Structures are given as C-alpha cells and as structure tokens.
Amino acid sequence: MPMKVLFVSSEVFPLIKTGGLADVSGSLPNALQRLGVDVRILMPGYPPVLNQLADLHTIGALHHLPHVDHVELLLGTIQDTGVKVMVIKSESLYERNGGPYADQNGLEWQDNPVRFGVLSKVASILASGHSPIQGWQPDIVHCNDWQTGLAPAYMKLTEHSTAKSVISLHNMAFQGCYTPNWVTSLGLPSAGFSIEGFEYHGQLSFLKAGIFYADAITTVSPRYAKEIQTAAFGFGLEGLLSKRSDEIRGILNGIETEEWNPAHDKYLVSNYSSHHLAGKQEVKAALQNSLGLDADAHAPLLGVVSRLTHQKGLDMLVPNLQSLIDQGCQFVLLGGGEMGLEASFRNIAAHNPGRASVTIGYNEPLSHQIMAGCDMFIMPSRFEPCGLNQLYGLAYGTPPIVNATGGLADSIIDSSHTHIANRTANGFVMVEASADGLIACIRRAVEMYRHDKDTWLQIQKTGMSQNLSWDKSAQEYLAVYRELT
C-alpha cells in the first residue's frame, strides 16, 4: 500500500502564489507522487483555486468548526501535474477579493486566526477516526509554516489522530501570534496555553504549536536548520528548537525543472541551454527593448525579482546602485513590498531612463524574462531559509550574487580562485552583509563578466549543469515519513 500524505499549505503554485512557499507546495507533492506516494494537498478554496482546478467535485462536508458552522470539502486536480487537491470551500472564509493573507491594500485579514485555524482543524479531522472522507486517511500530515501550525496540536490534543505530523519551516519571521482569547474560541484546550504548549509571550502562537506538537521538524536548507537554533535567526523560538535539535532535518528545496527551464520556458522569445547560449543574448535584447532600456549587448544587466522587505536586504543595494549605473551597468527590478524601498528604487529608475527599470507588482512572465535576460541576479538576503530565485539563476545561466546565509550559503559557491580552479564556482558570495560588502561583490562579478569571458562562461555552465530537481530532496522527505510510520 502506498503511503498516504496530506500536504497542507496556504498557497500552491500554479493556483495561488505570494512566494516560494507556493513553488514548494506545487512541486514537492508532484515529486513525491513520482516516488509512488499517494499525496493529496489540502488548501483553502480561494477563488483562483476554485477556478483553476480540474474535475472539481464535492466529496463531503464538515460541521461545527470554530467560528463556522459548515464547510464543504471538494476534490480536484492540478492540470499540469495531476496532483490531487482537497479544497475547503467556505464563502465567508476564503472567497474574497484580495490575497491569501491580506486585502487589496495589504491589510491583513482580521479573521486570519479563523481562516488558518479552520485549515489546521480540517487537516486534523481528515487524519482522525471521524473523518467524513471514506477510503482515504493520511498516514502523514505534512504542515507548512504558521498557517498550518495548529494542525499538529489539534491532532494530538483534540482529534487524537494516529497519523504522524511533520512541520516544514519555510520562514521563522512569520509566526501567527494572536491574543489568548483565540485559544478557547478556536477550540484548543486551555491546558495547552503554557510554555510546554502553544503559548508564546502571553499570546497564542500558531508556529510554536506546530514546532511543539509535530512529530518531526524540517527546514528548507541544512544551514537554516542550524541558524534557527540561534538568537539571530530563531525569532524567539531558538530555545525550543535547540531542545529538539536532533529531530530537525534541513532539506534543500529543489526547483520545478519543467516550469523553470530555459530550454523550454514559454515566456522567452528564444530558448537556450548550456550548449547553445546564444538565445540568452536574444532574451536580453528583448528584455531591454520591452522595458525601455538601451539596446546594449555588452552592458552588464543586473536583475532583481523579490519581495521588498528587510529580509531580502535590498536596502543594501540602494546607496551604491547609482555608481554601478554610472559605470555602465543596467538594472532591472521586479517586486513589491515596503513603500520606502519601492520609492527608492522608483526614484533610481526615474533618474536613469534607458539604464534602469523598476516594475512594482507581481508578474509571472516578467520574472522568467528577468531571470533569463539578465547577466547577474542580486539576492543579498539578511536571512534566507532556502531561496528559490538563486536556484532559478543557476538554471538560467545568470550567476547569483548572494549573502552567505541559509539556503544561499548552501547552494552558491563563490567564484574564488580555488573554486574556479576546481570548477565548483557557480556565483558570488558577499564577504560581509553590508552595503560595502554587496558593492564589492557586485564589482567583482562585473569585473569578471567584462574581462574574463572564459571564466564567466565556466561559472554559467557550472550552474546550468547542476541537478536542481526535486528528486533527491523528495527522497529525503520520504525518508522522514518512513522513520515516523
């Protein structure tokens, strides 16, 4: 009998996406399915999810959930991959205009504790003896981030599930902390509201609940698994994580090699591979043209696709960006987030017509075109649990320039003399997380791009020929599941 895994997530590509969690939630279940796992995703029924799934039909209903009397459970299929998705349909909770976590103005939905409390509760019920679904009971409930953190708590404390739970930590910066009145209103036993439970500085913490009650903990890179046990990266949960140190597994994310592949990327004017890199120049020219940049094949084109938040460290780029442009670089950014940062980058674009382009917003095709058309990808994150963009950069022959943290440290090998000599170099790693450290690193890359074409090509080809697929990491997740069952 194949192992049954319920993969619970608040965002799943291509149905709905705000960041890397969606990429992982789309591609890891697909890879697990290829390994013979009987996997189903469980997620909220946001409108784009209801609209995109194939063969969507009702399979049951659940009653008397916290704050909602009734939700329907639907089953559908992701068209490209055939992965099955169970959807919680509730008009009042999930069918609104706006994003999965916030409204159109970026204001968090006030009822997020209910929206994600219900997601967690439903997961725990499906893994229990009183699941309304006949014939499919998970052996493993695989939770992701705070939005699903209450599931392991419900499984142990209220549903007495015999299934095992895993929580994957994609980002410790988001914890889902709410006032203590939510404990009873979400149907959690008040005994759990303690240090040995889901209490965190007087609040109910969804993420702490997950970490405390899950049977296994994973993070999305080996380096981040260690980092989160320190005060600098643990966001207050380092103590608890250190206690469970032996049980934390760091598994580096892979990428969806069909979706992110320059050889057949549907968003590019020209496709290319490590053997035929000429197409990359054509994509660069098309990108320059479409964004109003000067047609200049030789200008080093620096790219960014990112959420604009403190985590991503792009404020470190602002002070020296003008000097890079003055020295002949071009710059393109796609992203959104903090208003101050958006304004700083917009300002630079306004002062450098033909040399810098800034697009604020979310744009899937453009993100691929930037990844392919740029010469270098800049990602100076202060912390980065894994990071997918640097992996896309490798696959697209766009060497990443990164800070030495988390998954960036685990995936990018600096172009030092030694690493060039032993042919492992695939990017550029900052020596220091500061504006000075970043500019020094970019200058080093630009210098090599301009004056040492052979080495540049070697670095590009090293990245492009790496196996970045999910296969190995999915095996590691399977090993975690097997140890539990």
- The binding site for ligand ADP (CB under 6 A) comprises 19-21, 23, 305-307, 334-336, 362-364, 367, 386-389
Least spacing, CB of residue 249 vs ligand ADP, in Å: 18
Give SS3 for 471. helix
Q: Of the two residues 204 and 366, which places its CB atom closer to ligand ADP in the complex?
A: 366
Alpha-carbon torsion, ordered 223, 227, 233, 237, to 10 deg: 120
Give the amino acid at 153.
A
Q: Is 171 among the residues that bind ligand GLC (CB under 6 A)? A: yes
Q: Is 220 among the residues that bind ligand GLC (CB under 6 A)? A: yes
* 240-243 CB contacts, 8 Å cutoff, 24+ apart: 240/208, 240/211, 240/212, 241/211, 241/217
User: Of the listed pieces 20-28, 37-45, 51-59, 361-369, which binds ligand GLC according to CB under 6 A?
Assistant: 20-28
DSSP category for residue 109? P
As a whole number of angstroms, the distance between CA 485 and CA 478 comes to 11
Q: Of the two residues 62 and 78, which places its CB atom closer to ligand GLC in the complex?
A: 78
Q: Of the two residues 40 and 312, which places its CB atom closer to ligand GLC in the complex?
A: 312
Least spacing, CB of residue 304 vs ligand ADP, in Å: 9
User: Of the listed pieces 74-82, 291-299, 317-325, 385-393, which binds ligand GLC according to CB under 6 A?
Assistant: 385-393
DSSP category for residue 311? G
185 binding partner (options ligand GLC, ligand ADP, none; Cβ < 5 to 8 Å by kind): none
334 binding partner (options ligand ADP, ligand GLC, none; Cβ < 5 to 8 Å by kind): ligand ADP
Beta bridge mates, 334:
305, 359
When CB distances to ligand GLC are compared, the closest residue is: 20
Q: Is 253 among the residues that bind ligand GLC (CB under 6 A)? A: yes
What's phi and psi for 376, nearest 5 deg? -140, 150
Q: Is 19 among the residues that bind ligand GLC (CB under 6 A)? A: yes
Q: Of the two residues 382 and 443, which places its CB atom closer to ligand GLC in the complex?
A: 382
Q: Is 304 among the residues that bind ligand GLC (CB under 6 A)? A: no
Least spacing, CB of residue 179 vs ligand GLC, in Å: 26
Least spacing, CB of residue 19 vs ligand GLC, in Å: 4
Q: Of the two residues 171 and 203, which places its CB atom closer to ligand GLC in the complex?
A: 171
Least spacing, CB of residue 145 vs ligand GLC, in Å: 8
DSSP category for residue 12? B
Tell which phi-psi region holds residue 236, choosing left (phi > 0), alpha (psi between -120 and 50) or beta. left
As a whole number of angstroms, the distance between CA 208 and CA 115 comes to 18
Q: Of the two residues 322 and 363, which places its CB atom closer to ligand ADP in the complex?
A: 363
When CB distances to ligand ADP are compared, the closest residue is: 20
Token output for 269: 């004017």
Cα 309-314-320 angle, rounded to 5 deg: 150
Q: Of the two residues 172 and 302, which places its CB atom closer to ligand GLC in the complex?
A: 172
Question: Strand (E) positions, 234-374?
Answer: 248-250, 301-308, 330-337, 356-360
Q: Of the two residues 225 and 420, which places its CB atom closer to ligand ADP in the complex?
A: 225
220 binding partner (options ligand ADP, ligand GLC, none; Cβ < 5 to 8 Å by kind): ligand GLC
Q: Of the two residues 65 and 408, which places its CB atom closer to ligand GLC in the complex?
A: 408
Q: Of the two residues 20 and 250, which places its CB atom closer to ligand ADP in the complex?
A: 20
Number of Cβ within 10 Å of residue 55's Cβ equals 10
Q: Is 31 among the residues that bind ligand GLC (CB under 6 A)? A: no
As a whole number of angstroms, the distance between CA 23 and CA 6 comes to 17
As a whole number of angstroms, the distance between CA 281 and CA 139 comes to 49
- Alpha helical stretches, state H, 291-421: 318-326, 339-351, 364-373, 389-395, 406-411, 417-421
CA 15 vs CA 72, 357, 381: distances in Å: 19, 28, 27
Q: Is 14 among the residues that bind ligand GLC (CB under 6 A)? A: no
Least spacing, CB of residue 387 vs ligand GLC, in Å: 4
User: Of the listed pieces 14-22, 191-199, 296-304, 474-482, which binds ligand GLC according to CB under 6 A?
Assistant: 14-22
Which contiguous run of DSSP H or E holds residue 222?
A: helix 222-227
Least spacing, CB of residue 407 vs ligand GLC, in Å: 6
Give SS3 for 404. coil
Which contiguous run of DSSP H or E holds residue 47?
A: helix 47-52
Binding site for ligand GLC (CB under 6 A): 19-21, 24, 170-171, 220, 253, 384-388, 407
